Structures are given as C-alpha cells and as structure tokens.
Amino acid sequence: MLDDDSRADLGELDDDDLLTAVGPVSADVVGRCVGVVGGRGGAGASTLAAALAVAAASSTRVALLDLDPLGGGLDLLLGLEDTAGLRWPALAAATGRLSSSALAAALPAVSGVAVLSWDCGDLMSVPAEAVWSVVDAVLRGFDVVVLDLPRGLDATAAPAVERCDELLMVVPAEVRAVAAASRLVRVLAGSDVPVRAVVRGPAPSGLTGPEVAAFLGVPLAGWLRSEPRLHRSVDKGVLGGLSRRGPLAMLCAGLVEGLLSEDRRARASTTSAVAA
C-alpha cells in the first residue's frame, strides 16, 4: 500500500493500487483551490483555467482538473490526448482518502501542470463521492488546484465547488452573455464561495469590465483583451507555449500573484495559530 511519502512510478501503478492507497491521517496543509466557470456556453472558461494553471506552475505545484465531461476536453486543449496517465473513468470507483502522491504520479503532465481530464469513452459522469475523494487528494498533494467547472454546476461538481476558495466566472462583454451570467450568479447566491468576474473582450455593445461586474453584483477580477492568435494556439493544443506578454498570460500572472499572496497569508496565519 502506498502512503503520502511514497514515490510511485506510473509504470508500476495500476488502478487498484491507487483506489486502495491511503495517506496517513494527519493535519495536512491543504492547497488553494480556484474554480473557473463560464457565464455562458463557450465563454472561454476552459482556456482560462488551463492558462491559469500553466502560469501558476512556474512557481508552485499545480493540478488542473476537468470537471466538464461535455466540454471539448483539457487533453486536447493542452496537447495531452496521446500522453499516458489516468483519466476520470479510471477513478469512478474512488472512495475515501486516496494517496495524494500516488495520484500525482499517475496523472499526465504538461508545462509543469498535472492534468486530470476525460477520455474518449462513453462514461460521461463519475459519482460525487469519487469527485470528493480526488479533489481532496489533489488538495493535499498540490499547492494550487484549478478546476474547470461545468456551467450547470450539477450534483457531481458540487463537492468540488464546496472546496473552492474562489470562483472565477468568465463573462464575454456581450448583453446576452451578461444576462446568462446573472442567472448563474443567482444560482451561486446560496454558496459561501466568493465569486469574481473575468470579463472578456471584444465588447461589441461598448460594455466595460466594471459595468459588467456591477450589473452582476460581483467584484471584477480582470479584463481580458481580445487575443487574435489565441484560437490558433488552442486548436493546435499548444496553450502552454503562449507568449508571456499576451493578454491572457498577463491576466493569469496577475491572478496567480494575488492567489499566492493570499495563500502565504493564510499559511502564516495557520502557523501562528498552531504556535499559540
């Protein structure tokens, strides 16, 4: 059986090993968790989630989880479709406390990001208990966890949303997109998870980021300018190689800086409380 101090080689790890491997019950340091969701379909949430994870991986340990089985798939977005490693169907029977080190070793990775996506099979959902177990394990094994969430935020995704420190809602600066996002804000009103808006241009009707955020009643996390080359990078699965000076990369760098600053303050507060 593997514990959290073990080093599991992917070639020696099968599904049964992972599903029965548990870590020691202790006061774990838990990573920061950010969920990304689209204010409307096709808003670009998966692209932002992937870019945010790649940006964070330059300075810390990062995992990226695809929780939208009906999306295009993070494997394709990041060029991982032919890379060996576990996908969600292999974890459908997961329960309880999994080994974070065993799971980390079994996931495919790109640009320093461990990625859990869907495969091309027929399985379109996994039990909520499996989602909880996997999210719990990655939060123990990584400093930052980014979740690509389905807009429906169904019962399967609910355990993951509950573990988020923050939700970033991607909203195109379009009237209908803002109207759709306002419905999602109302759905999230009963949650304790803070929500911020990332507003994406272009703005055909002249809407600004502050105007969209004010209408939605949530803080503005940032404005994402149009990036003509982005679509080509996404189609080619080379998102990790985007220019660091492009609008998406610069936005994500700022978001990561804020996230890690909050993480340091939280960990310092926890350390002080334990010492006292």
Q: Please state the rounded mean pLDDT for residues 217-234.
A: 82
Cβ contact 96:22 at 8 Å: yes
pLDDT band at 239 (very low <50, low <70, confident <90, very high): low
Domain regions of the chain by residue span: 37-275
Cβ contact 181:171 at 8 Å: yes
Q: Is the pLDDT reported for residue 272 higher than 50?
A: no
| The pLDDT value given to residue 270 | 44
Please write the tens of the pLDDT for every residue from 143-173. 999 999 999 888 889 999 999 999 999 999 9
| The pLDDT value given to residue 240 | 54
Q: Is the pLDDT reported for residue 197 higher than 80?
A: yes
Amino acid type, 205: S
Question: What are the start-end ranges of the H helices in 5-78?
Answer: 15-20, 45-56, 74-78
The whole-angstrom distance between residue 137's C-alpha and the CA centroid of its chain comes to 14
pLDDT band at 9 (very low <50, low <70, confident <90, very high): very low
Q: Is the pLDDT reported for residue 244 higher than 80?
A: no
Q: What is the pTM of this model?
A: 0.85
CATH class (in words) of the domain with range 37-275: alpha beta
Tokens of 93: 């029977």
pLDDT band at 123 (very low <50, low <70, confident <90, very high): confident
| The pLDDT value given to residue 235 | 55
